[in-house]
Amino acid sequence: MPEVSLQLFFSYSQKDGALRDELANHLSTLTRQGVRTQAITIQKQAAQLSHE
């Protein structure tokens, strides 16, 4: 079976931390199945979001 690799970048607000944790849980399932995963996360603070 060929090696499978997944690289994921996502940015989230502090209020969405629970959703980030849920995504991390799903990624760990893929890792257990042999898929190499790398997640790059950026957490935006409320002050940053108000300026966008």
Enter the pTM of the model: 0.58
What is the reported pLDDT for 12?
A: 83
What is the reported pLDDT for 3?
A: 75
CA distance 42 to 3: 27
What is the reported pLDDT for 46?
A: 56
CA distance 40 to 7: 8
40: tokens are 């790059």
- For residue 45, give the 3-state DSSP assignment: coil
pLDDT digits (tens, 9 = 90+) for 3-49: 778 788 888 888 888 988 898 888 888 888 888 877 777 877 655 54
Return the ∠ at Cα 52 (arms to 18 and 39), rounded to 5°.
40
